[in-house]
C-alpha cells in the first residue's frame, strides 16, 4: 500500500452516537459509540477545546527570550513555558497572541512571524495551537488574569533551548516553539 493511497485519507471510523459527558466554558468531553476500523463495536472519548491555543516566542535585540512560570493544576507541578493562552475560535489568533503576551509579560512587539500550527494531543483532543515569533520588543506592565500567579524571567535564547534539552520545559507548545525558533534562527544565520 502506497502512502498516496486515497484510502489512507478516508475516515475508517463510523460514529453510531455521541453524548456530551461534561462541558464548561473551555472544553467539552464527548463519549462516542463507534464501529472501529476493524469493523468491531467500540467506544472513543474526545475532548473538544473551545479556544485555539496561541503561544509566543519572544526574541529581543540581544537574542534573549522570556519564559512564564506557573503552577499547572492538571499536572500538579510547576511549569516554565512561553507566554501562552486561549484564543476564541471566532477571533484573530494573532491579535489574541498579542493580548496574551501583554497580559502575561507586559511586553509588546512590532514584528510577528507565524512559525507553525500544531495539534497538541490528536489521539484524544482536537486542540490546535498556533506559535508565533515576536521581535521589536517594548516593555510594559503585565496584567495577568486572577487565576494566574506568574513568574516571568528573561533568559538567553540558548538557555531556553538547554532547558528543553534537559527536560526542564515539558509543555508541548513551548518545546515545539523553541525548536522551531532555533531552526528559524539557524536559517537566518545561513543567509548572512
Which tens digit of pLDDT belongs to each residue from 139-154? 988 887 777 778 899 9
Cell of 101: 503576551
What integer best gives the mean pLDDT of the chain? Answer: 92
pLDDT for res 6:
52
Give the CATH H-level superfamily of domain 51-191: Nucleoside Triphosphate Pyrophosphohydrolase (3.90.79.10)
Which tens digit of pLDDT belongs to each residue from 171-180? 999 999 999 9
Which tens digit of pLDDT belongs to each residue from 49-83? 999 999 999 999 999 999 999 999 989 999 999 99
Asked if residues 74 and 82 have their Cβ atoms less than 8 Å apart, the reply is no
> Cell numbers 494566574 label which residue?
148
User: Residue 7: which pLDDT band, with cuts at 50, 70 and 90?
Assistant: low
Cell of 80: 516554565
pTM of model > 0.85? yes
Integer Cα distance of 18 and 2 in angstroms: 33
Reported as type and span, the H/E element at residue 184 is helix 172-191
Is the confidence at residue 2, as pLDDT, over 80?
no
Boundaries of every domain in the chain: 6-48, 51-191
Percent of the chain with pLDDT over 90: 83
pLDDT for res 9:
75
pLDDT for res 5:
56
**Mean pLDDT of all residues in 120-146:** 91
pLDDT for res 192:
72
Least confident stretch, 44-53, 85-94, 144-153: 144-153
- The pairing of strands 64-72 and 77-81 is antiparallel
Amino acid at each position: 500500500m502506497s502512502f498516496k493511497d486515497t484510502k489512507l485519507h478516508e475516515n475508517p471510523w463510523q460514529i453510531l452516537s455521541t453524548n456530551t459527558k461534561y462541558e464548561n466554558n473551555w472544553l467539552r468531553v464527548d463519549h462516542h459509540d463507534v464501529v472501529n476500523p476493524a469493523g468491531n463495536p467500540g467506544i472513543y472519548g474526545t475532548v473538544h477545546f473551545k479556544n485555539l491555543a496561541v503561544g509566543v516566542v519572544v526574541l529581543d535585540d540581544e537574542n534573549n527570550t522570556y519564559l512564564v512560570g506557573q503552577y499547572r493544576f492538571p499536572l500538579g507541578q510547576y511549569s516554565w513555558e512561553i507566554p501562552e493562552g486561549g484564543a476564541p475560535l471566532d477571533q484573530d489568533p494573532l491579535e489574541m497572541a498579542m493580548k496574551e503576551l501583554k497580559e502575561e509579560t507586559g511586553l509588546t512587539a512590532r514584528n510577528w512571524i507565524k512559525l507553525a500550527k500544531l495539534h497538541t494531543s490528536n489521539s484524544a483532543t482536537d486542540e490546535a495551537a498556533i506559535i508565533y515569533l515576536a521581535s521589536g520588543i517594548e516593555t510594559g506592565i503585565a496584567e495577568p488574569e486572577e487565576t494566574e500567579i506568574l513568574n516571568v524571567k528573561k533568559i538567553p535564547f540558548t538557555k531556553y533551548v538547554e532547558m528543553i534539552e534537559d527536560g526542564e520545559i515539558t509543555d508541548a507548545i513551548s518545546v515545539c516553539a523553541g525548536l522551531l525558533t532555533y531552526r528559524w534562527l539557524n536559517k537566518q544565520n545561513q543567509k548572512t
